[in-house]
Amino acid sequence: MSGHDSKYFSTTKKGEIPELKEELNSQYKDKRKDAVKKVIAAMTVGKDVSSLFTDVVNCMQTENLELKKLVYLYLINYAKSQPDLAILAVNTFVKDSQDPNPLIRSLAVRTMGCIRVDKITEYLCDPLQRCLKDDDPYVRKTAAICVAKLYDINAELVEDRGFLEALKDLISDNNPMVVANAVAALAEIQETSSRPIFEITSHTLSKLLTALNECTEWGQVFILDALSKYKAADAREAENIVERVTPRLQHANCAVVLSAVKMILQQMELITSPDVVRNLCKKMAPPLVTLLSAEPEIQYVALRNINLIVQRRPTILAHEIKVFFCKYNDPIYVKMEKLEIMIKLASDRNIDQVLLEFKEYATEVDVDFVRKAVRAIGRCAIKLERAAERCISVLLELIKIKVNYVVQEAIIVIKDIFRRYPNTLSIHSPLSYESIIATLCESLDTLDEPEAKASMIWIIGEYAERIDNADELLESFLESFPEEPAQVQLQLLTATVKLFLKKPTEGPQQMIQVVLNNATVETDNPDLRDRAYIYWRLLSTDPEAAKDVVLAEKPVISDDSNQLEQSLLDDLLANIATLSSVYHKPPEAFVTRVKTAQRTEEDDYPDGSETGYSESPSHAVDSIASPPATSSNTPQAVGRQPAAAPVPDLLGDLMGLDSDNNSNNAIVPVDEPTIPAGPTLPVVLPASTGQGLQISAQLVRRDGQIFYSLLFENNSQIPLDGFMIQFNKNTFGLAAAGPLQVPQLLPGTSARNLLPMVLFQNVASGPPNTLLQVAVKNNQQPVWYFSDKVSLLVFFTEDGRMERATFLETWKSLPDSNEVSKDFPGIVMNSVEATLDRLAASNMFFIAKRKHADQEVLYLSAKIPRGFPFLIELTAVIGVPGLKCAIKTPSPEMAPLFFESIETLLKS
């Protein structure tokens, strides 16, 4: 049955469009049809054939169904770009909607609904009205969906013309397919409307349950999804509903099964009889297990859902853990999800078998999977007290294999286990803390990941009194102290203090001097410095108090990292089988479809031309060119003075150790869609440092407001969320004007953000510098620190223009000591105009110009907030390298910063 349509893709030497035009107007039917096919082929490969609109539409009146379909397809694609010509098609559409052939009638309404041109929509109403009452169910089912299409384009029209009532009538249609489509259409309309449009009464419920038995598999999904919103009046009604839905669990279509599961789970909430509930759980288990024999993509969706289901009803699959054991050929994304569920189902009864599996996985080749398997062992240890020792033995066996990343992961995990059981591992066991630590120490030299290093150091500090050579071990790290990442430095500092407090001998005393010196004088990291000072002060004033603080008993941790909050879980369970249940996020977090009214501006479909990418509709208005101050993403910036960002205690919060109580901080992560694509930003935190998280950032000025433009790219294997940002004290007192709003970043995705900034919030004393130290944290990773360079340019305000007279006056009034100049031998000024344009773009305003020999001398003014003016004199010979820049300003200490910025600006 193979076709030979590929011949239509070939091009001819002669101009293609004129040739096609000629063929489209041929007197021969076959030739016209071939020509339309060529047009569609061109459209398929992305060529713009919209100029043939009239010629193609002329072929519309045909008896040939295939040709008609092609012309319709063309119309769907190009009507939008040719709205005035599209009207030519209306007559044929209306005529076709009354054709004796039901295929053509439905084709006409279906296509008209797809053409989002107002002029066409107006004419759609009458045919749609007729088709909703058509004799043929095929036409009615198409018309039902068409109402939803029309509602999407023009909701008012749908309501005014009474289509909603007609659609509701279709719920009682005698044809199950029509009922199903009407349900789908109504459910969608309800979603976008705030008024109650589609309310399921017990009467509609029973009708729909009957239709369920007869409609196609896809229709069953529509109906089940809509019905899962129905709230039964009491337990009896709930039981009745469940009884009628359970047969769907036997359906071969996985989507039907999952939607049936959703509905049963919803109704089960109302059922009080424990017997009934137990029985239902028993009934649901086998179908859920069978989903794991489906195609891997479906398995993935099923596993994400099972993850939710076992959190609510752990008993359902309590005995089925074996089906989640990974198969050799499972795709990695299936394996990862299976592992997650295995942890959830692990119990004292099955832990031995589970550990054997984890051990097996920990020797596979996929590094991420291996790491996750090792972590899984740790999570089981934390969850099951009685199995903790067995878990540790497995981890120790894995360490002996000496695969570097396994060792490091195992050490991190053992640190967590120690935090969970600080002293309570059984004394009868051959495993003592000493022997475990001894095994860990064998791998000391191979550690190169910050988290593993930090964990090892934590263990040494915490158990210093039990380790004979703790001081030697720590000392070995001290040599490289300045080069270590912040995370490791902080742990080293604390561990050394712990060691000193536990063993106040000479060795540790010397070490503590070295560390404190390193951590206060030598470092730029404020967290480290502050913590070191606190320790120092404590140790020098009251060593006993230091003990109470540093060696205080720590709260015992528990593994709730993957437990969802009850209300969120409720929400997600109501959304089983949907994307929400796959993401484990409420729909609001990712649904970007907004009401049509806001979409009229949007004009995408570049169709081969380079008009650029269409932005998501909700952001169509705030693409980069338009003022971001009006953007919905930065509401803080609009209309009111930027509020001061609260400055939380740098010591406590950023370390993240006890960050659980930061709810009273204003830094609350809010999930919100992010800013669309923009210019490239310099990388400030490379993915290699950030465990896969890459951050690019730059300060920018837009419409009088300073923003920190950030790009987060998640190259790790885990979703990252709960992003927060904090700025260290800096010369300009730059701080965030509001919380950082970055949505959860799934692996492989990225998010942009324009963070509004305020000035003079936490001003650092000392000579001005351009250093901006930033800390970013999220819920999954350690805190990342990076430094950025502030360009003075972003501070130049829009009102920096001076009158000539004022300029001269100011120049004269400032003493000569305030004049600083610098030569830039590398900069060439090629044109005065271009240079001035460039300077003006950065709010440096041209005052005057004079010629001195062959030199051009330019005078400009600029202003930074709080009114400091900069008077600038630039001297250069056009086209010859070498530029002299002199400035006069009340704050000459800013001069180096100014020169740095202007150099970057003029060099680029």
Partner 1 sequence: MAGAASALFLLDIKGRVLVWRDYRGDVSSVQAERFFTKLIEKEGDAGSQDPVGYDDGVTYMFVQHNNVYLMTASRQNCNAASLLLFLHRVVDVFKHYFEELEEESLRDNFVVVYELLDEMMDFGYPQYTEAKILSEFIKTNAYRMEVAQRPPMAVTNAVSWRSEGIQYKKNEVFLDVVESVNILVNSNGQIIRSDVVGALKMRTYLSGMPECKLGLNDRVLLEAQGRSTKGKAIDLDDIKFHQCVRLARFENDRTISFIPPDGSFDLMTYRLSTQVKPLIWVEAQIERHSRSRMEIVVKARSQYKERSTATNVEIELPVPADATNPNIRTSMGSASYAPENDALLWKIKSFPGGKEYMLRAELTLPSIVAEEAAPERKAPIRVKFEIPYFTVSGIQVRYLKIIEKSGYQALPWVRYITMAGEYELRLV
Least gap, CB of 521 to partner 1 (angstroms): 40
Judge whether 906 and 838 are in contact, CB under 8 Å: yes
Closest C-alpha to 327, from 293, 287, 304:
293
Using the rule CB under 8 A, is 509 a contact of partner 1?
no
Residues 115-144 that bind partner 1 (CB under 8 A): 116, 136-138, 141-142
Using the rule CB under 8 A, is 59 a contact of partner 1?
no
Beta sheet of 705-714, edge-to-edge order: 683-685, 693-702, 705-714, 750-758, 735-736
Using the rule CB under 8 A, is 547 a contact of partner 1?
no
Q: Which lies closer to partner 1 via its Cβ, residue 246 or residue 487?
A: 246
Least gap, CB of 460 to partner 1 (angstroms): 24
Judge whether 330 and 338 are in contact, CB under 8 Å: yes
Residue 706's beta-bridge partner residues?
701
Q: Would you call 632 helix, strand, or coil by DSSP?
A: coil
Q: What is the rounded distance in angstroms from the CA atom of residue 447 to the CA atom of residue 459?
A: 14
- Which of 88, 205, 325, 530 contacts partner 1 by CB under 8 A? 325
Read off the amino acid at residue 780: Q
Provide the greatest CA pair distance for the chain: 105
Using the rule CB under 8 A, is 533 a contact of partner 1?
no
Q: Which lies closer to partner 1 via its Cβ, residue 578 or residue 762?
A: 578
Using the rule CB under 8 A, is 606 a contact of partner 1?
yes
Using the rule CB under 8 A, is 449 a contact of partner 1?
no
Q: Which lies closer to partner 1 via its Cβ, residue 356 or residue 643?
A: 356
In the numeric block, the tokens 């465990």 are attached to 691
Q: What is the rounded distance in angstroms from the CA atom of residue 219 to the CA atom of residue 248?
A: 13
Residues 159-178 that bind partner 1 (CB under 8 A): 175-178
Q: Which lies closer to partner 1 via its Cβ, residue 361 or residue 795?
A: 361
Using the rule CB under 8 A, is 347 a contact of partner 1?
no
Q: What is the rounded distance in angstroms from the CA atom of residue 265 to the CA atom of residue 431?
A: 45
Using the rule CB under 8 A, is 396 a contact of partner 1?
no
Closest C-alpha to 139, from 180, 101, 95, 189:
101
- Which of 11, 98, 101, 813 contacts partner 1 by CB under 8 A? 101
Tokens of 702: 């837009």
Q: What is the rounded distance in angstroms from the CA atom of residue 718 to the CA atom of residue 498?
A: 33
Using the rule CB under 8 A, is 769 a contact of partner 1?
no
Least gap, CB of 299 to partner 1 (angstroms): 9
Read off the amino acid at residue 75: L
- Which of 18, 28, 65, 468 contacts partner 1 by CB under 8 A? 65
Least gap, CB of 631 to partner 1 (angstroms): 15
Residues 268-287 that bind partner 1 (CB under 8 A): 286-287
Stretch that binds partner 1, among 90-98, 397-405, 448-456, 660-668 (CB under 8 A): 397-405
Using the rule CB under 8 A, is 614 a contact of partner 1?
yes
* 135 Cβ neighbours under 8 A, 6+ residues apart: none
- Which of 206, 216, 566, 830 contacts partner 1 by CB under 8 A? 216
- Total Cβ atoms within 10 A of residue 449: 18
- Which of 307, 618, 741, 761 contacts partner 1 by CB under 8 A? 618
Residue 180's beta-bridge partner residues?
none
Residue 857's beta-bridge partner residues?
850, 875
In the numeric block, the tokens 């500090």 are attached to 461
Q: Which lies closer to partner 1 via its Cβ, residue 193 or residue 810?
A: 193
Using the rule CB under 8 A, is 623 a contact of partner 1?
no
Q: What is the rounded distance in angstroms from the CA atom of residue 633 to the CA atom of residue 752?
A: 11
Closest C-alpha to 193, from 185, 181, 204, 201:
185
Using the rule CB under 8 A, is 397 a contact of partner 1?
no
Using the rule CB under 8 A, is 332 a contact of partner 1?
yes
Using the rule CB under 8 A, is 451 a contact of partner 1?
no
Stretch that binds partner 1, among 181-189, 429-437, 817-825, 866-874 (CB under 8 A): 181-189
Q: Which lies closer to partner 1 via its Cβ, residue 63 or residue 465?
A: 63
| Per-residue CA distances from 368 to 255, 302, 333, 356, 691 (Å) | 30, 22, 11, 19, 12
Q: What is the rounded distance in angstroms from the CA atom of residue 440 to the CA atom of residue 62?
A: 81
Q: What is the rounded distance in angstroms from the CA atom of residue 771 to the CA atom of residue 761?
A: 16
Q: Please give the helix or strand (H or E) that residue 701 lies within, else none.
A: strand 693-702
Q: Which lies closer to partner 1 via its Cβ, residue 67 or residue 497?
A: 67
479 CA to centre of own chain? 40
Judge whether 720 and 783 are in contact, CB under 8 Å: no
- Total Cβ atoms within 10 A of residue 13: 6
Least gap, CB of 290 to partner 1 (angstroms): 5
Closest C-alpha to 494, from 460, 541, 540, 545:
460
- Which of 113, 127, 508, 768 contacts partner 1 by CB under 8 A? 113
Number of residues that bind partner 1 (CB under 8 A): 144
- Total Cβ atoms within 10 A of residue 688: 9
Q: How many degrees, rounded to 5, is the angle at CA 335 between CA 329 and CA 340? A: 160
- Which of 184, 339, 345, 847 contacts partner 1 by CB under 8 A? 184
Q: Which lies closer to partner 1 via its Cβ, residue 405 or residue 846?
A: 405
Least gap, CB of 213 to partner 1 (angstroms): 6
Residues 677-736 that bind partner 1 (CB under 8 A): 677, 715
- Which of 55, 96, 134, 225 contacts partner 1 by CB under 8 A? 225
- Which of 56, 75, 86, 301 contacts partner 1 by CB under 8 A? 301
Query: Per-residue string for binding with partner 1, 77-96, x by CB under 8 A?
Result: x--x----------------
Least gap, CB of 769 to partner 1 (angstroms): 37
Q: Which lies closer to partner 1 via its Cβ, residue 336 or residue 894?
A: 336
Closest C-alpha to 756, from 629, 865, 842:
629
Residues 574-603 that bind partner 1 (CB under 8 A): 574-575, 577-583, 587, 590-593, 599, 602
DSSP symbol at 783: -
- Which of 11, 28, 66, 904 contacts partner 1 by CB under 8 A? 66
Query: Per-residue string for binding with partner 1, 409-438, x by CB under 8 A?
Result: ------------------------------
Judge whether 245 and 223 are in contact, CB under 8 Å: no
Using the rule CB under 8 A, is 63 a contact of partner 1?
yes
Least gap, CB of 216 to partner 1 (angstroms): 5
Judge whether 887 and 874 are in contact, CB under 8 Å: no
Q: What is the rounded distance in angstroms from the CA atom of residue 703 to the CA atom of residue 630?
A: 10
Query: Per-residue string for binding with partner 1, 227-256, x by CB under 8 A?
Result: -xx--------------x-xxx-xxxxxx-
Q: Which lies closer to partner 1 via its Cβ, residue 329 or residue 688?
A: 329
